[in-house]
Structure 1
Amino acid sequence: MDDLSPSDLKVILHSKRANMYYLEHCRVMQKDGRVLYLTEVNKENLYFNIPIANTTVLMLGNGTSITQAAMRMLAQAGVLVGFCGGGGTPLYMACEIEWLTPQSEYRPTAYLQGWMGFWFDDDKRLAAAKSFQQARIHYLQHVWQKDRDLKSEGFDFEDKSIQSALDLFFTRTQAATSSQELLLTEAQLTKVLYKYAAHLTQNAGFKRQHEATRTVAIGKANDFLNHGNYLAYGLAACTLWVLGIPHGFAVMHGKTRRGALVFDVADLIKDALVLPWAFVCAKEDATEQAFRQQILQAFIDHKALDYLFEQVKKVALQALTEQQIDAIENDQVGDAL
């Protein structure tokens, strides 16, 4: 089979790609013009194809290796490759995935230019952070009102406790004069959501712990929250990489943290999807694999990656005219600017 060119492999937009893979105890390689992973079952070698043109992120966990030829094809297809611990967490070096991004490629500069156009202005950066907070709640409302499975578990966006917390959230967000105030307001809302989800799933006494144990349901909910959050970080990192916006230009989390913008973007979907399913799966005593499959399916069902692209592009291009934005979307960046 002839090698595919990079243009052949990038026919599917990243925002429309369906797959994010986590692999462990296998070898990733290139064979006959395809990227495969090799694993051993009952002393028999088994090969499985990875559809790289329809994949956003490849996470390599315990006991994995990858060949240079496979990395070349993944780079051509624009797939982000990262190294992590077992089950997708913790992240490599206990702090972050070391993303290997392709160097011989061209990404749009308009989104970075638009981001830089407001980022150095404190007031405009704060306004962008508030816009993200509004989008976060809009997505929460959209998911919780639409998802039948979450409704059957009792998650109701119109619940009085949720609406009361949101009224306070919107009031404080509107009045906030710094990113620290926004972070405090966000934390207060998330605390209410934790309490609400814990009550629905009979998880009395739940306390958020980032170093969770797996021996009891309380610990399992924490573990699932950590696991699901890392998957959301993967989608956020993919979004920012495709749009060419460095992870250090955060609008709400600490500007001294190199990857803080990843946290800002991931927050758009975490409360709506990761939080409720972490508690539901903990109640059902699900395995890590079952939880991961549930979260990834929820990302697909509710077009989480689409939403991240939509909101980041909206903030990045807020100062441009409709004609300029249309030109950018049609790869006419030079004429637009």
Structure 2
Amino acid sequence: MIGFMFYLQAFELEQTLTLSNTNGHSLNPSATKHDVPLTTSSLGRLQDIFLYRISYTQAAMRMLASAGVLVGFCGGGGSPLFSGSEVEWLTPQSEYRPTDYVQGWLSFWFDENKRLAVAQTFQQARIAYLQRVWEKDRDLKAENFFADDKDISTALDGYAQQIPATQKVGELLLKEAALTKQLYRYAAKTTKLGNFVRECEATDLANGFLNHGNYLAYGLAATTLWVLGIPHGFAVMHGKTRRGALVFDVADLIKDAIVLPWAFISAKEKATEQEFRQQLLQKFTEHKALDFMFEQVKQQALREDLP
């Protein structure tokens, strides 16, 4: 991976040569015995770390830029949902995005049949990822979420068989929506939240956690596309005119597998927003959600067997 994301919850500019956290450790090109050297190799250790109350200098930012690190400023919660304003990204001036993936993506995007084929592949990968995560995750099994339950296996197998038969993206979207409703029904039944109705504006815990978790998934998807240099507008399912539509396509690869069950489990346990967020971030890491997104997008961008 050639770029990393940092969520900086509170920040200040200082006339020093350090990038430090609240524990007093610093990332400093001229490190003291208490400092962590800011080198290209040390940057690798910072992947997927959420740093709070960061102080940095021009020297530190110069090294981050030279390594292609993506730095973001945001409010509490690490996403637009809780910050009250859009995230502002600082793109390193010394780093160009790779060309292979965007050129490969555009080579098929203008052909409707090829876009449909990629969308179908994404949906098959989504099913496979859910099955793999639910079969592996002991915590989900402890909460009675099983990939081989009759209701789940019937829903997933039925959808998998319907995917190749779809002739239009709109038809695929309708079948995908039907699957999602079945998953909501299963999760609500398993967690004894039988009166659940999916409404984005609803104030109940399950809907709130779904919204929160989805935004975290969108952050992973946006990071994937930025690093690979593919613009957000070239969607394969969510509509060519919808802003950021490809972000939603990529986020859908992992939402059902991780966000959906933990939103219901956390609602059942009456968890706080912070507790839910930490649980979800842990599961994203445990099941390598970001790696999976990179893998799927790269495979489709470089795919040569499209009709």
The answer to whether TM tops 0.5 is yes
Q: Is the 8 A contact 2:76 2:82 kept in 1?
A: no
**Could you tell me how far apart the structure 2 residues matched to 1:279 and 1:183 are?**
23
Deviation (angstroms), 1:97: 3.4
Q: Give the counterpart of 1:27 among 11, 31, 40.
A: 11
**2:262 maps to what in 1?**
277
Q: Give the counterpart of 1:319 among 295, 304, 307.
A: 304
- 1:144 and 1:58, CA in 2 relative to 1: closer, same or farther beyond 3 A? closer
Q: Is the 8 A contact 2:8 2:54 kept in 1?
A: no
Q: Is the 8 A contact 1:112 1:244 kept in 2?
A: yes
**1:187 maps to what in 2?**
177
**Could you tell me how far apart the structure 2 residues matched to 1:164 and 1:121 are?**
33
- 1:52 and 1:202, CA in 2 relative to 1: closer, same or farther beyond 3 A? farther
**Could you tell me how far apart the structure 2 residues matched to 1:302 and 1:14 are?**
20
**Could you tell me how far apart the structure 2 residues matched to 1:109 and 1:245 are?**
9
1:81 counterpart SS class: strand
* In the alignment, structure 1 residue 156 sits paired with structure 2 residue 146: yes
* In the alignment, structure 1 residue 146 sits paired with structure 2 residue 131: no
**Could you tell me how far apart the structure 2 residues matched to 1:191 and 1:33 are?**
53
Stretch of structure 1 that moved more, 172-181 or 295-304? 172-181
Q: Is the 8 A contact 1:247 1:258 kept in 2?
A: yes
**1:326 maps to what in 2?**
none
Equivalenced residue count is 290
- 1:170 and 1:233, CA in 2 relative to 1: closer, same or farther beyond 3 A? same
Q: Is the 8 A contact 1:59 1:82 kept in 2?
A: no
- Please list, as runs of the form range in 1=range in 2, the aligned pairs for 1:197-216 lying within 5 A after superposition: 197-213=187-203
Deviation (angstroms), 1:98: 3.5
Deviation (angstroms), 1:112: 1.1
Gapped regions of structure 2 (runs ≥ 5): 28-41
- Please list, as runs of the form range in 1=range in 2, the aligned pairs for 1:70-219 lying within 5 A after superposition: 71-91=61-81, 97-213=87-203, 219=204
For the aligned residues, what is the CA RMSD? 2.9
**Could you tell me how far apart the structure 2 residues matched to 1:304 and 1:130 are?**
19
Identity fraction in percent: 61
* In the alignment, structure 1 residue 243 sits paired with structure 2 residue 228: yes
**Could you tell me how far apart the structure 2 residues matched to 1:49 and 1:180 are?**
51
**2:36 maps to what in 1?**
none
**Could you tell me how far apart the structure 2 residues matched to 1:238 and 1:315 are?**
17
**Could you tell me how far apart the structure 1 residues matched to 2:199 and 2:26 are?**
37
2:297 counterpart SS class: helix
**Could you tell me how far apart the structure 1 residues matched to 2:282 and 2:244 are?**
26
* In the alignment, structure 1 residue 36 sits paired with structure 2 residue 26: no
1:210 counterpart SS class: coil
**Could you tell me how far apart the structure 1 residues matched to 2:110 and 2:70 are?**
29
Deviation (angstroms), 1:158: 1.1
Deviation (angstroms), 1:57: 6.8
- The residue type equivalent to 1:117 in the other structure is S
Q: Give the counterpart of 1:258 among 231, 243, 246.
A: 243
Deviation (angstroms), 1:258: 3.1
**Could you tell me how far apart the structure 2 residues matched to 1:131 and 1:97 are?**
31
- 1:87 and 1:211, CA in 2 relative to 1: closer, same or farther beyond 3 A? farther
**Could you tell me how far apart the structure 2 residues matched to 1:83 and 1:27 are?**
8
* In the alignment, structure 1 residue 232 sits paired with structure 2 residue 222: no
Deviation (angstroms), 1:103: 2.8
